[in-house]
Structure formats: C-alpha cells, structure tokens
Amino acid sequence: MNLPLNYSLRNLRRRPWQSGATALGIAIVVFAAVLMLSLSRGLFSRLDITGSPDNVIMISRKGQNTMFSEIESAEIVTISSMPNLAVNAQGAQLISPEILHISMVRAASIKSHTKAAVSIRGVSPIAFDVHDTIRLSEGRLPAKGAFEVLAGSMSHVKLGVPVEATAVGKDIRFEGVYWTIVGRFTDNASLIESELWVPQDTLMTVMRRRTHSLVVAKFTNAVYARDATVLFRKSGAVEKFFKGWVEKDYYGQFTEGLSWVFWLSVFMVLLVAIAGLLIGVNTMYTVVVNRMSEIATQRILGFTQFDITMSLLTESTIIALLGGLLGSAGGMYFDDMPMKLSYGAFRLSVDAVVMSVGMGLAVVIGVLGALLPTYKGLRLTIIEALHYE
C-alpha cells in the first residue's frame, strides 16, 4: 500500500507560501550556480577553439611572450627553410610576420567614451591565408598603407561600446591617429574576434617600429606542424632566432593561466549548493515536525516508513524542481551575454551541460533536504510521534 501522488500534491497546496518561498530560495541558488558555470563554460569554450593545429606561432628567442618579442625581417628568411610549409594558390609560402600590440582605443562616434585596452594586430595580406578560419562578415579588407581597420565581431565588447560604434564606416582613435573601420570579421567564436586588424606597414609607420612581434607559419597538416616544433629545440638557424609552439597549444596555455576561473566557479557552486541544502533541510524539517502526529497515524494505518519517506521525498523534489526550472530559466536570460577579460572578450554560455548541472543541483537539494529530517522524524516510535510537540 503506497501513499498516492495526489496526497503529496495536496500537501503542497496546504502550505503555498512556505512551498513558494522554498522554491524561490532554491531558484536563487540554481540561478547563481548557472551564472558561475556559464562564465567558465563560455570562456574556456572560446579558448578551446582559438588557434589552428596546422599553424606554428613563433616569437624571438629572447622574448617572453608576443608583447615582448622583436623579430627582424632578415631573421624571417630562415623560416622558409622549414620543411612541409603550406603554400597559397600563387605558390607563396604561408609565413605571416605580424605585430601584436595593446593600445588604448577610443570610439570616435561616442563623445563620452573613455579609452579601453584592445589588441591591435598588424598584418599583411598573406595573413588571411595563414589564418584561414577568418571570415569577412561585412565590408572589405583594409588597403595597404591606409589608416583602415578590420574589426573583430567582439571588438566592441573589449571597447565597452555598442556594436554600432564599430560598424563599417565608423572611426576609432589610437596611437594618436583616426582609423576608419572598413570591414568586420569572425573567427569561429575564438578570442581573436576581440582584436582589431590593421595594415602592418601603416602600423609600423605610426609606431615608428621596424621589427615584428611574431610570425605564424602554416604547415600542410597538423602532424607536420607538431614535427616542426622540434626545430626550436635543435641547434640550427631556426633555434638561433626563434622559439615556437603549435598555435592551438600556445592559446591552450591561457587555459592553465585561467584555471582559477574554473576553480572559483566550482567553489562558488559548492557554497550555493550548501546554502540550498540548508534551505531544503530547514523547510522539510518544519514539515516533518508539524505533521508528526499525521505521520504516526499513517504508520498505524499500515503505511511503511519507506512509503512515508517516498511521499515526503516527492514533495521536496517537486518543490526543488520548480525552483530549478525557475532558476535555470533566469540563467537562460543571460545566455550569450558578452563579458571581457584582459585576454579578450567572450560570451556566457548557458548550454545543455550548464542546465543539466543546475537541474541536477536542484534535485540533490530536494532529495537530501527531505531525507535528513525525515530520517530523524521516523526514528521516533509511534507513541512518541503521537505526543510530539
């Protein structure tokens, strides 16, 4: 003999305010957990797809990173001797010398806009063959020697301005010069979409610079690209001037540097889970205490402790699921919301994994919240329960 589902549903209606308040508390817990998880999910998913396994990124032997690297044009000639380099339709080796520079940029169309730090990449036309995942979404490529910019689809987030401020035809100012945006690009939602790309010769003139920051070379496949990294550890012309990594591995190092974001999100989820569990335990403890005589009567009528536990568990789980659905729905509102870090811009990702964790957390709160007080209540004898105050 089992207690019917209608019994659990009727009990929820008997205390609507208490049930609603508990569901709202669990909803807040799930909402906070979903937000924290969506932040790390969105950031690391961008890092995972940044960089190509066919490309090798090189900086100067003495450089610490791309920002503190100086490569002479004469040194780049040695790269052409590396085996299995890819070539374009014109037969040119796909070697792209580039400048990567952080500059304080201001959107000229917004008078009140303060400057923001944005990555500026100076490139030559061959860069678009090397970075073959770049797609022109609108406009055209910057002309050689012109003060023109190709804006990444997430560059407005780094700038902290509406997307309209980086539309084709708008001006931005950095390095003391006004630049006109002539096109916009995408890169499979990678961190590179946070950058502004300009003609390398123009940038070198403005910055009065004669050296490059890095060189990116494309190989015929990922195996040859990884094999090429051996040359950076073997004495020779390449090792003398450069150190390098497979491009995907290079950006993967950022994941290690940002591991604190992941662990912070896990820590915060644990904290809110404990808070939610306390909410569930407190609610169900009150329910069990207030219905102790009723529970004793059910035991007299022949309902087992298992039947009573499952009934209370059903009540608690229904409340928790309602709270989980409400909290997850609130989190979905922030899906795809843009965020920025020093490494670049990304979007919160409330995907199926995040939603599953959120709902799973709600179920755990509901189950444990019911089991702990129910176990305590059912330890009493029937006589003790009938006289419990």
Q: How many CB atoms lie within 10 A of CB 108?
A: 15
In a domain? residue 268? yes
Given 220, 249, 272, the domain boundary residue is 220
Taking only the tens place, the pLDDT of each residue in 322-360 is 889 999 999 898 888 888 877 678 888 888 888 998 898
What's the one-letter identity of residue 194? S
In a domain? residue 247? no
Determine how β-strand 116-123 pairs with β-strand 196-199: parallel
Indicate if 211 and 110 belong to the same structural domain: yes
Q: What is the pLDDT of residue 377?
A: 66
DSSP 163: G
Indicate if 186 and 151 belong to the same structural domain: yes
Residue 128, domain extent: 55-220
Ranges assigned E (strand) in 108-258: 116-123, 135-139, 148-152, 171-174, 177-186, 196-199, 214-218, 242-246
Indicate if 327 and 379 belong to the same structural domain: yes
Q: Which residues of 185-197 are buried (b: 16+ CB within 10 A; e: fewer)?
A: bbbebbbbbbbbb
Indicate if 66 and 124 belong to the same structural domain: yes
Closest CA to 288 of 365, 388, 367, 364: 388
For the whole prediction, is pTM greater than 0.75?
Answer: yes
User: Which residues in the chain land under pLDDT 70?
Assistant: 1-12, 255-262, 280, 284-285, 287-294, 296, 298, 343, 376-377, 379-389
In a domain? residue 140? yes
Write out the H or E segment, with its range, that includes residue 24.
Answer: helix 16-48
In a domain? residue 147? yes
Token match 């009140």: residue? 112
Count the domains in the chain: 2
Indicate if 175 and 202 belong to the same structural domain: yes
Q: What is the pLDDT of residue 72?
A: 92
Helix axes 305-332, 259-290, angle to 10 degrees: 140
In a domain? residue 245? no
User: What Cα–Cα distance (Å) separates residue 292 from each residue in 246, 285, 373?
Assistant: 66, 10, 11
Indicate if 266 and 336 belong to the same structural domain: yes
Q: How many CB atoms lie within 10 A of CB 334?
A: 16
Given 194, 220, 246, the domain boundary residue is 220
In a domain? residue 246? no
Indicate if 35 and 93 belong to the same structural domain: no
Indicate if 172 and 287 belong to the same structural domain: no
In a domain? residue 250? no
